[in-house]
Structure 1
């Protein structure tokens, strides 16, 4: 692969009246994230627990693996950005990756949640290989899938709506995985978690394949570069650095996703050990992801009244307050634990849809500012930040569990319980504060975006005379 990117100056299809999408197409797009989350939610919610309590790897080793592999995968995302911007097929430049990545994704997903009877060294090597494979496949499908938003419409409200459908699909997948996984394993494979996790992934993979195909068949790419012109790598880097809204929104999502990833993976520890109520795990997962789903559905309504920047600040502020309140709630006060968990989930669901709705706007901003339209690279750098956030959340979780003295499947010390509570409550609150500060500097509001689209349309019209 050479170090060039696609240039889109005077060659991009624009519309002065951006296309309004049908509900069916939005549902088809959302089905893609539903499919992705049969794997992604398993990784976020159960991967750490699977490695520490099923495979029995030390938490520090798992944390280091999460950090190294996800940083590596971030660079894979950037590579995918280059590949996407140089791809043209009869199906478009983005949708083919969904079509041809679905089956390999299923294979590596099943392998990743398998636990062969190897030595400790063999288990670590196997974990690294399969974890790298599943993260690489996430990049292969996830990066072009995310970029589809900018290719389907230029209507900013439609983009938020489209992102909401996406997040709803994501939340439905998350709810299914988080709630049903322990129930499926306990019902069909009690006392055999190794077989249970593997077979559960086989079931999920069948459904994922169906929803991937719905996404591929039901969506269309309408906004794209008609032809490509070489852009040197150094120039591409300069184009990225000039896109300040992209850098800010990527950082905001990095800290937001890191906080969400920590809460997701640590919830099972908090319920099992801090609350000592393993019977409530499915309920807490339902509250967490069900609340996120409702918050996501409210995001399009919120952005009709607030600028995206203010909606993000509101959501992150609420998440921070609820996290601090939950930390100081006694474990025996179950009703208030449930209240703060639900409120945190409801409010925390809003920023995700708004952030994903803001990201496509940075594609037009880049083209307006520099003359280059590079969806692949933009979504690649955003996905890099996303993977970096998961690296940070996974490493922090593993290291703090190890330092606090966590021992799998045992009565935990007060130090270990405090470490779990810190991870679930205060660390996400601190990350939310960082996101709020970054959001204060985000300037790409609706007025500026409308001006950008109008300028690009006029520029294209003049070039066709």
Structure 2
């Protein structure tokens, strides 16, 4: 006897399957529409791939910010006279900030006007990465020691190569997606990885130099440096949550105050004795770095916002120009932050420490080998970043072909949020580099210096950065783009493009 087929059940199953297929199609269509609008979702490999570029650049960042002034004063002996080396180095770094005002707009304009085969922005990770590696190595080659001309030339070329990589790299951030939440996650990832680079370079370079110099490892100094990056592993993953709880501006206020408290502890206990209160110094460094990690880390998430604001008001998404402008200000902050300690040390009569067991050896060959190793690793990471990134939110040739250098300053004066974050960048980086440039002197047998030089180092390590952060708090209080406003701006931009 033939089996009876339940038509009702068959009909129900068919309808259920059709309903499920319809829902899947609707979801895919909705996702495709969101992607088309530029609100792309990024995979963790893409986020980590982009962040690896920050690891690479932070190697250079740490080399310049934490060690190059020490190298010029205590290893290279710039100019051949110990009492003049710091002042000569400080002047060199001031001139660099002026060069950046000319160079970075050229880079930003060139990047916006051209579409290289390997990508509008990512191509420069390769084009600039190789000369950047080469010039970093040459900066620490002592063959022409103590030539001022050689030091100036290699340092300036290094900074120009850094701009050739950094300006398009920062613009690449805004080209990956328009999604505010994705940008926050991407920024948190890159901050986290930048601090991985900071940890490896800041803590690793002193150890590797000592190893190649055949000296005892400077564990205390390396740990102090490493603690400058350690808070990122705790706070960076929580930045999106912190921002939601406190709000954008309040997050800046709270963590700036935390950083200033850490600086105050460093000043107080360094006067009582760095070696005697080394544990307290570690705690103070951790507190200071916790504040700076969030404060100076999240500021990078503001750059895509002002790019979108500029596109909303002018119709052109000139990411290269905007990042060239922010680069001018943060490079000016870098140069001034490294120059100020040079002048302070010269003014307070600092002289090279003459001790056999100095935490930072002055063996030039050891420094050279160490920088070669870190530079080559950085180049490999830049290449990895190139392979894992994809640009999807960029203007085409007809929109960027008429970009001019003058557009940089036009954008600066008409884009108020851009002006605010540019000044904040400069103040923040002066604060960072004034501190970083002098930690080597703080931990390098400071008690052997004359009292004026000791106080000069303490002011650079803690007092001057604190004053600058208070100024930064006042500046960021004027920033007006909250999340709701920037989301509305991005949606209106995409609706106009779809129309």
TM-score category of the 2 structures, normalised to the smaller one: 0.7 to 0.9
Q: Given the alignment, which residue of 428, 447, 450 partners 2:484?
A: 447
1:109 matched to 2:136? The reply is yes
Q: Given the alignment, which residue of 236, 252, 258 partners 1:318?
A: 258
Equivalents in 1 of 2:144, 2:316: separation in Å?
Answer: 52
**In the alignment, what sits opposite 1:20?**
41
1:29 matched to 2:50? The reply is yes
CA contact (8 A) 1:74 1:384 kept: yes
1:95-130 alpha-carbon deviations (Å, 9 max, x no partner): 111122222111111101111244x4xx11001000
Structure 1 residues 185 and 333, CA gap change in structure 2 (3 angstroms): closer
**In the alignment, what sits opposite 1:371?**
315
1:125 matched to 2:149? The reply is yes
CA contact (8 A) 2:348 2:453 kept: yes
Q: Given the alignment, which residue of 183, 191, 194 partners 1:170?
A: 194
SS in 2 for 1:441: coil
Q: Which runs of 5+ in 2 are unaligned?
A: 1-33, 79-84, 355-447
Equivalents in 2 of 1:86, 1:178: separation in Å?
Answer: 37
Q: Given the alignment, which residue of 171, 183, 190 partners 2:214?
A: 190
Task: Give the drift of 1:16.
Answer: 4.5
SS in 2 for 1:408: coil
1:336 matched to 2:245? The reply is no
Equivalents in 2 of 1:106, 1:413: separation in Å?
Answer: 38
Task: Give the drift of 1:319.
Answer: 1.0
Structure 1 residues 132 and 117, CA gap change in structure 2 (3 angstroms): closer
Question: What is the TM-score normalised by the length of structure 1?
Answer: 0.75
Q: Given the alignment, which residue of 378, 381, 397 partners 2:325?
A: 381
Task: Give the drift of 1:185.
Answer: 1.7
**In the alignment, what sits opposite 1:142?**
166
Q: Given the alignment, which residue of 102, 105, 110 partners 1:78?
A: 105
**In the alignment, what sits opposite 1:8?**
none
Task: Give the drift of 1:148.
Answer: 0.9
Q: Pairwise CA RMSD of aligned residues?
A: 2.0
Equivalents in 2 of 1:82, 1:420: separation in Å?
Answer: 40
Task: Give the drift of 1:310.
Answer: 2.3
**In the alignment, what sits opposite 2:10?**
none
**In the alignment, what sits opposite 2:375?**
none
1:184-206 alpha-carbon deviations (Å, 9 max, x no partner): 12212337xxxxxxxxxxxxxxx
Q: Given the alignment, which residue of 326, 346, 350 partners 1:402?
A: 346
The more displaced of 87-96 and 380-389 is 87-96
1:386-465 aligned within 5 A:
386-410=330-354, 411-462=448-499
Q: Given the alignment, which residue of 76, 81, 85 partners 1:55?
A: 76
Question: What is the TM-score normalised by the length of structure 2?
Answer: 0.70
Task: Give the drift of 1:24.
Answer: 0.5
1:42 matched to 2:63? The reply is yes
1:14-73 alpha-carbon deviations (Å, 9 max, x no partner): 854711111000000011111112222111110000000001121000000011013212
CA contact (8 A) 2:38 2:177 kept: no
**In the alignment, what sits opposite 1:100?**
127
Equivalents in 2 of 1:384, 1:278: separation in Å?
Answer: 35
Count of residue pairs the alignment pairs up: 363
Q: Which runs of 5+ in 1 are unaligned?
A: 1-12, 192-276
Q: Given the alignment, which residue of 248, 252, 261 partners 1:308?
A: 248
Task: Give the drift of 1:419.
Answer: 0.7
1:90 matched to 2:30? The reply is no
Q: Given the alignment, which residue of 211, 224, 228 partners 1:288?
A: 228
SS in 2 for 1:289: coil
Equivalents in 1 of 2:302, 2:295: separation in Å?
Answer: 10
Q: Given the alignment, which residue of 296, 302, 308 partners 1:358?
A: 302
1:66-105 alpha-carbon deviations (Å, 9 max, x no partner): 1101321242111111011101133321011112222211
CA contact (8 A) 2:184 2:301 kept: yes
The more displaced of 91-100 and 127-136 is 91-100
Larger RCO (CA under 8 A, 6+ residues apart): 1
**In the alignment, what sits opposite 1:256?**
none
Equivalents in 2 of 1:17, 1:136: separation in Å?
Answer: 32
Q: Which of the two has higher C-alpha Rg?
A: 2
1:237-248 aligned within 5 A:
none
Equivalents in 2 of 1:78, 1:139: separation in Å?
Answer: 10
